[in-house]
Amino acid sequence: MTGREIPDPGFAGDTGEAGSELLAALAAYADGTGSQVDALAAVRTSRLLVPVVAVLGEVEVDGDGLAHDKSSDMASVLLRGADGRMALLAFSGLSALRAWDPTARPVPVTARTAAQAALQDGAAALVVDVAGPASFVVEGQDLQGVARGWALARVGGRSAWVATDTDQE
């Protein structure tokens, strides 16, 4: 039997640990010693873990009247904020993901892929490390910029998104 090799999605050998630069930038932003721009720049270039959880599909009832799972599906997780907007959850590493839900399965993706998934799901934001130790929200123009793969430029203490040569929009 000849097999086809599964293409490497870019995360071969990934242990699930959070990147030290990302953790440092998120912690500095959370404690007020770092800027939003630095945290955004770190998120933009990071591998994130998007949680996937089992969702009950069909239920069947046996002859004794007991319900049993007939099927289930796997789904990414959206969180509804107090203002009603939806956000896709992502995590810097396994420890942050497990602090939120130890049963969730991690799917490693680029920040760009996570941002694209958030927009495709109708979410207004991407929330990184919702359970801490330092959470960060990417929304609005920043979510669009990450999703498009644009470069982040620093302008004073703020940021601006710059379309790249490879941008196809």
Sorted by where each begins, the domain ranges of the chain are 20-56+71-162
**What does the pLDDT read at residue 169?**
47
* Ordered per-residue pLDDT tens for the chain, 169 residues: 456 665 556 777 788 899 999 999 999 999 999 999 999 999 999 999 999 887 655 666 777 767 655 555 567 888 998 899 999 999 999 999 999 999 999 999 999 999 999 999 999 999 999 999 999 999 999 999 999 999 999 887 778 999 876 655 4
Instruction: Determine the Cα angle at 149 with ends 30 and 78, to 5°.
Output: 55
Residue 123 Cα distances to 18, 84, 88, 154, angstroms:
24, 10, 6, 26
Q: What does the block give as tokens for 103?
A: 């049963």
**pTM for the predicted model, two decimal places:** 0.81
What three-state secondary structure class fits 114?
helix
Orientation angle between helical segments 140-148 and 111-120, nearest 10 degrees: 120
d(CA 133, CA 120): 27
**What does the pLDDT read at residue 15?**
84
